[in-house]
C-alpha cells in the first residue's frame, strides 16, 4: 500500500491555506472505450495528490477549522461489495479506507448528494474544480441551492466559490523528497526503455515494433502505464511534433526520434532521444545533432535557483539561432534571426515544461506578468529541437532531419540535477551502444 503520511501532510497544508470554508475535490470518472468496455482507469491528479486513493467514484471533502470546530478531512468512496469484487477487484469501502488513508470520516459515495448540503451549511466559501466538468459544476451549485432553501431557518449558504487549483497548483509545483524519489524511479525505468530501443532498432523494422519494446520495458519494471502516447518517429515523421501513428518502416540512413516516458505511482517521466536507425550518424545529421545538444547544454546550465523560467529557453534559442546561421538555414545576425523569428521554421516550440503528476504539470509560468523564478524542488523538462522540412531555400542534405533531445531536470539548492542522465545522448555513446 502507498505510504500515506505525505498525503496526510498535503491535506493539512491545503487546510492551512484555506482561511475558511470547505473544499470538495472529486476524482476522475471512468471512461467508456466502447460499448461496455472501459479505458484503463487513471485517478484525477489533484485528488490523488491529496489522498493516495486510487479507486474511482470517490470525492474528498476538507473543512477548514473555525474557532469552535477543528478541521476535518472526509472521504466518500464506494461501498464494500463482495459481489462486485468478484467481477472488478478489491474495494476498500469507507470504514477500511478511513483507517488506511488517515481520514477523520468516510462515507459511501452514494450519500454524497444527501450529505453535502449539510456539510455546506454555514460555510462561507467553497473550493472546488471549477470549469473542468460541467456536470460537476452543476452538481455543486445544486448543493448550494439546497442550502439556500434553508435560509428562513437561519442557515447560511456559501457566499463564494473558489477554484481550488490556484492553491493546489502552487503546492504541486514544489516536489517533496517522496515525490522526487518516485520521479527518479520513473526516470530510471524510462531510461532503460530508451536504451533498449537503441539496442533493438534495425533498418526494416516498423515504428510500432520499437514502441512495443518501450512498453515492454515500462511494464516489466513496474510502471503502471506510459505517461503519454509514445512518439516513435522515423525519418520525415520526426518533423511532425506530435506524431503518434508509429506504423512506418525504419530506413537505413534515417534518424529515429523517440519521445516516451512511463508513469509510476502517479508521476511521469518524459525523455526524448534521437539516433540513427543504422547506428551511424551521417555528416549532416551530426552537424544538426551537435547543434541541438549544445543548445540543450546551454539551457540546462541556466536551470538554477533565482533564474527566471524563461532563461533556459532563451539560452537554447541563442545557440540554435547562431547554429542555423552557421549551417546556412538562416541569414543575418543572431539578433536579426531572433527578432524576425525566422528560426521558427526549424524550431517552433518552447524549451520545456513543468513535470510531475501530469506530463505538462500544474503551476503557473508567470507571476504578475513576469517569468517566475526557479526554486529548489521544481522539476522541468529541457527539450530543444530542430525540424527541417524540405524547402527551396533549405540545403537538400538537411531535408527531413528532425531532432529533439529532452531530459528531466530538478532544481536543487546548488543548481540542478538530471533525473535522466543515464539515457545516452552523445554521438559517441549512442553509436557505441548501438553496435
This prediction's pTM: 0.96
Q: Mind listing the pLDDT tens digit for each residue in 358-402?
A: 999 999 999 999 999 999 999 999 999 999 999 999 999 999 999
Dihedral pair phi/psi, residue 352, rounded to 5°: 175, -175
Q: What is the pLDDT of residue 2?
A: 63
Report DSSP letters for 151-206, one per residue: GGGTPPPPSEEEETHHHHHHHHHS--HHHHHHHHHHHHHHHHHHHHHHHH--TT-B
Q: What is the pLDDT of residue 67?
A: 87
Tell me if 91 sits within 8 A of 84, measured CB to CB.
Answer: yes
Q: Which domains does the chain have, with CATH numbers?
A: 5-172 (3.40.350.10), 174-433 (3.90.230.10)
Following CA atoms 179, 184, 189, 194 in sequence, which dihedral angle do they give, to the nearest 10 degrees?
130
**Active centre residues (catalytic):** 36, 242, 259, 270, 349, 353, 360, 383, 387, 404, 406
| pLDDT < 50 stretches in the chain | none
In the chain, what is the greatest distance between 2 CA atoms, to the nearest angstrom?
81
Smallest Cα–Cα separation from 362: which of 139, 129, 135, 182? 129
- Residue 368, SS3? coil
Query: 54 is written with which cell numbers?
Result: 486510487
Q: Which residues contact 390 (CB under 8 A, 6 or more apart)?
A: 396, 399, 400
Amino acid at each position: 500500500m502507498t505510504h500515506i503520511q505525505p498525503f496526510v501532510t498535503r491535506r493539512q497544508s491545503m487546510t492551512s491555506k484555506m482561511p475558511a470554508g470547505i473544499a470538495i475535490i472529486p476524482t476522475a470518472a471512468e471512461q467508456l472505450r466502447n460499448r461496455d468496455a472501459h479505458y484503463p482507469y487513471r485517478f484525477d491528479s489533484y485528488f490523488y495528490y491529496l489522498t493516495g486513493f486510487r479507486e474511482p467514484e470517490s470525492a474528498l471533502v476538507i473543512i477548514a477549522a473555525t474557532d469552535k470546530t477543528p478541521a476535518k478531512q472526509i472521504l466518500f468512496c464506494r461501498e464494500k461489495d463482495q459481489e462486485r469484487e468478484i467481477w472488478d477487484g478489491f474495494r476498500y469501502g469507507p470504514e477500511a479506507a478511513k483507517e488506511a488513508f488517515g481520514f477523520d470520516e468516510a462515507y459511501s459515495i452514494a450519500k454524497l448528494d444527501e450529505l453535502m448540503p449539510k456539510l455546506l451549511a454555514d460555510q462561507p466559501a467553497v473550493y472546488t474544480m471549477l470549469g473542468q466538468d460541467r456536470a460537476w459544476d452543476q452538481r455543486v451549485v445544486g448543493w448550494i441551492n439546497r442550502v439556500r432553501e434553508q435560509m428562513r431557518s437561519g442557515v447560511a449558504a456559501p457566499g463564494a466559490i473558489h477554484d481550488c487549483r490556484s492553491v493546489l497548483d502552487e503546492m504541486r509545483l514544489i516536489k517533496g523528497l517522496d515525490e522526487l524519489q518516485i520521479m527518479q524511479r520513473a526516470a530510471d525505468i524510462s531510461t532503460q526503455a530508451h536504451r533498449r530501443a537503441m539496442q533493438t532498432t534495425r533498418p526494416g523494422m516498423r515504428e510500432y515494433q520499437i514502441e512495443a519494446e518501450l512498453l515492454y520495458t515500462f511494464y516489466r519494471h513496474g510502471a503502471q502505464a506510459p505517461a503519454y502516447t509514445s512518439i516513435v518517429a522515423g525519418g520525415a515523421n520526426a518533423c511532425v511534433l506530435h506524431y503518434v501513428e508509429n506504423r512506418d518502416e525504419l530506413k537505413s540512413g534515417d534518424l529515429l526520434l523517440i519521445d516516451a516516458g512511463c508513469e509510476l505511482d502517479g508521476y511521469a517521466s518524459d525523455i526524448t532521444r534521437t539516433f540513427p536507425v543504422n547506428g551511424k550518424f551521417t555528416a549532416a545529421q551530426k552537424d544538426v545533432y551537435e547543434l541541438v545538444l549544445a543548445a540543450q547544454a546551454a539551457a540546462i546550465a541556466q536551470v538554477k535557483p533565482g533564474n527566471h523560467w524563461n532563461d533556459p529557453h532563451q539560452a537554447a534559442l541563442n545557440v540554435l539561432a547562431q547554429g542555423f546561421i552557421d549551417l546556412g538555414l538562416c541569414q543575418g545576425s543572431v539578433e536579426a534571426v531572433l527578432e524576425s523569428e525566422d528560426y521558427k521554421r526549424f524550431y517552433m516550440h518552447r524549451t520545456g515544461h513543468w513535470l510531475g503528476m501530469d506530463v505538462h504539470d500544474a503551476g503557473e509560468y508567470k507571476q504578475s506578468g513576469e517569468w517566475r523564478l526557479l526554486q529548489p524542488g521544481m522539476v522541468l523538462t529541457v527539450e530543444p529541437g530542430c525540424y527541417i522540412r524540405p524547402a527551396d531555400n533549405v540545403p537538400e542534405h538537411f531535408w527531413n532531419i528532425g531532432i529533439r533531445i529532452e531530459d528531466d531536470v530538478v532544481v536543487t539548492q546548488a543548481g540542478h540535477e538530471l533525473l535522466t542522465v543515464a539515457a545516452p545522448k552523445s554521438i559517441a555513446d549512442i553509436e557505441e551502444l548501438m553496435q
